[in-house]
Chains A and B, each alone.
Chain A
């Protein structure tokens, strides 16, 4: 029976991969808000509960409205992903769904909890007691983290598969629990993503306030918002290099070909140098700046270590080197700049016990928001393109997983158009939201903001 599910001819494999990549790139920044934003909102509300200062309530309330709007967009873009797994990669689902599906089933439940409590939290500002309201936000924060953990456990399994026996190209004797959660490989991915979420959400939230400061709107409200958002982003961006070092060593140990692609290392090399910038020409990195022995140090913490090159596998089993390498360097480059910006912030914050005052700092923050998204996506490109040509590393090729259905170019084109529209709509919505005066917002309009309630009746009905 299982044998009936044979790989299909698909001339648009590359387009199918791009379509999946596009959908992930749209969804992942929203995931960052799911992980990190509830904690920031709850912190602001906790400050309100302990101090009674209405400024914190106004801040938490306003942020909670952005939170649910982004959650709504995340819900639909996440749904697209689960559709696409089947629409684009039915071979993968049919052969391995029994092994990794559990991760998504668990994620489904945490998604449920998140959707339920985010609604109670955001719509309950005026009706729940302050304490109960605060408590209703806690499951949102937990579910956001749990959901991403379950999804990343699946990605960790795709990169280092175990817990099944392969028979005629199909997994049998699946052991889903140990496959997903007994796999040490996924932990570094999860922790790296967890802190990345704080970097992205923190800097993106800070960006409009930093712009406000530059334009002379630096009142106490804005500065409080900046203090919370930048604290989250700065601490996380400072920790990312440490986590990244751990991740690099795990990849060196378990996916040497991916590491070789990230570094453009064709041959197995002892005391390998690291190249900054440059281009991989199929043999070596040209026009790059070579730093002797650094790759050996980074990969194994030993300047004389031997780093395996792409040559250990036949050419058909190698990922596209320049894409992986460029993405990796982009992530590391931006990550370094963000860490420096975070260091400046934390230095001023802890030594001088105030916010930075330099205009250059705020210009940096305005850039840091979008740049952090670029770094996030570059990081995922590194690990996912670096996994190619495998969808289940070493067991199933992406080409064996793809659908035999025609019409991928039409689907891809449609999705591009819809996502461009969606991106424009979200940006426009946030800009519009930022122009709603504060006092109006606090006067009783919930997630769905009525910009100008037209009549008393409508105002009381607004939900």
Chain B
């Protein structure tokens, strides 16, 4: 029972990553294939790029979450997966670097001629990464990763019908989620042409993803019989039906222009695929290794649960806050007419001499205890004093007058040429 808790956390992480980061990857897909439509291709590219701005880093962290829970709770499985699947995982890693860096860079570049190249790097890596990660899932799902240090076939483990299919499916669902999200976001910023374009794309992507999923079942039937049986009986079948149903509902909502509910049903359709995979494969993690056998010891599992519960109490409200602000447009740039309460003008007060005295005492006591002391407590007190010195001395030093120009007109700093 305890051994199953981390795998549930991992599945939550995989589902969240597939849905949230998948949507961000899909934005890259729509930059690569901007196509034709009512709004200009450049407008569509900009819209796809801007819409993920405030959230992509947080969405990306789900991947880290999955990795760390996996290596803590199922270390042998983690070592086996990472060593046998080193090629697609390395490709995904390079894709992640290129994508993150080019996104950060592209933001600086609206006028520069290099922007096209950077944008292409971003779009290409946005397509490469989910495909590579999909092949990894395919390798695990089709039982091609044996236990051991690089014991599996380094190429055939991920270059096979099931892996290719899941890679393609990852790409299709990403494009589909992104199109729904971008349509909703275009509606929010009152861009009807963009909304219409992404509505059409959402419908097309939904049909493609659905057709691909059905075709994939045939592939899996011949390539990985065990997985197919899991997906077509019991809970696995229920998950497949949930996914199909939610997909159809999404098409209906998008058709009707109800993008808000469509976002939810689209996410459900994709998350249900992850759930179906999990149900079909359990209790096997790798061939000959069940979840129970792979799990770390009791103390480690309890530690993971405690960390997860503690982390969730911070994480869940924080995520709700972020997405609440994001979806209500509170993280958009300044729009005319919105004004913030002004901060009252006061004469800057410089911290007094008292703080300087405190800093000096802390320095002397702290350095004395740290250098001369030889026990744990003297180092603890000493370093704490040094920290107090650092904080107080910093506040005094940073707030002292900065030199000539202090008495100038306060607005003066804004004039003049470029500044480093």
Contact = CB atoms under 8 A, between A and B. Distances in A.
Contact of B386 (A98, A116, A239, A445): A239
Contact of B68 (A51, A82, A218, A232): A82
B150 A116 contact: no
Nearest to A431: B420
B119 to A, nearest CB: 13
B349 A191 contact: no
Contacts of B399: 47
Interface stretch (B92-100, B200-208, B241-249, B269-277): B92-100
Given A1-B147, A51-B347, A128 B330 contact: yes
Given A43-B398, A58-B414, A245-B370, A429 B104 contact: yes
Q: How large is the interface on A (under 10, 10 to 19, 20 to 34, 35 or more residues)?
A: 35 or more
A226 B331 CA distance: 30
B397 A350 contact: yes
A96 interface: yes
Given A101-B72, A236-B390, A461-B189, 10 more contacts: A43-B398, A69-B107, A104-B71, A105-B308, A116-B319, A208-B420, A403-B149, A418-B94, A437-B418, A454-B110
Given A5-B76, A79-B60, A246-B379, A221 B297 contact: no
Interface string A420-435: 0010011001001111
Interface stretch (A171-179, A261-269, A285-293): A171-179
Given A112-B315, A118-B57, A405-B86, A353 B348 contact: no
B332 A101 contact: no
Contact of B107 (A217, A231, A354, A449): A449
Nearest to B380: A187
A333 interface: no
Interface of chain B: mostly helix, strand, loop or mixed:
helix
Contacts of B398: 43, 227-228, 231-232
B150 A405 contact: yes
Nearest to A459: B333
B96 A80 contact: yes
A187 B379 contact: yes
Contact-residue bracket for chain B: 35 or more
Most buried by A among B90, B109, B189, B341: B90
A32 interface: no
B402 A86 contact: no
Nearest to A456: B336
Given A47-B348, A403-B149, A243 B370 contact: yes
Contacts of B151: 404
A236 to B, nearest CB: 7
A234 B413 contact: no
B252 interface: no
Contacts of A389: none
Nearest to B328: A127
A107 interface: yes
Contacts of B72: 97-98, 101-102, 104-105, 176
Contacts of A224: 402
Interface stretch (B23-31, B218-226, B298-306): B298-306
A461 B82 CA distance: 42
A273 interface: no
Nearest to A128: B330
A85 B83 CA distance: 10
Nearest to A136: B321
A104 to B, nearest CB: 4
Given A93-B82, A243-B370, A451-B111, A8 B149 contact: yes
A1 B406 CA distance: 71
Contacts of A236: 390
A239 B390 contact: yes
B413 A219 contact: yes
A305 to B, nearest CB: 12
18 contacts: A53-B348, A57-B343, A76-B96, A87-B83, A90-B78, A109-B307, A119-B58, A191-B383, A212-B420, A218-B404, A227-B403, A235-B393, A243-B386, A246-B383, A353-B400, A434-B420, A461-B189, A461-B191
